[in-house]
Amino acid sequence: MNVLIAIVLVVLAAAGTAVVFTREQPSQAIVLSFYGLVVGLLLVLLQAPAVALSEIVVGSVAIPMIVLLVLARAHGAR
């Protein structure tokens, strides 16, 4: 279990770095969605399934969706 947590923590760090270094905003929303999924995975491994479920639905569906829609709106208004 500890090995799994270590692996997920490394992937999490990589995913977080990837979010920061993705400069194109629509792509960033998609990478952010992947980051939310990895956070959810970590919470599953830490035996917090209820929080994991919340994190996956909010972090990898709701937030990227709102970000994408706002971006589309902001670009469309230009």
CA–CA separation, 27 and 40 (whole Å): 20
x-or-dash string of contact with other proteins, 10-49, rule CB under 8 A: ----------------x-------------------xxxx
Q: Quick one: how many helices (H) and strands (E) in the chain?
A: 4, 0
Nearer to other proteins, 17 or 75 (CB): 75
**Amino acid sitting at position 28:** Q
Q: Tell whether residue 4 is a contact of other proteins (CB under 8 A).
A: no
Burial of 67 (0-12, 13-18, 19+ CB in 10 A): middle
The size of the interface with other proteins (CB under 8 A), counted in residues, is 26
* Binding residues vs other proteins (CB under 8 A): 5, 26, 46-54, 57-58, 61-62, 65-66, 69-73, 75-78
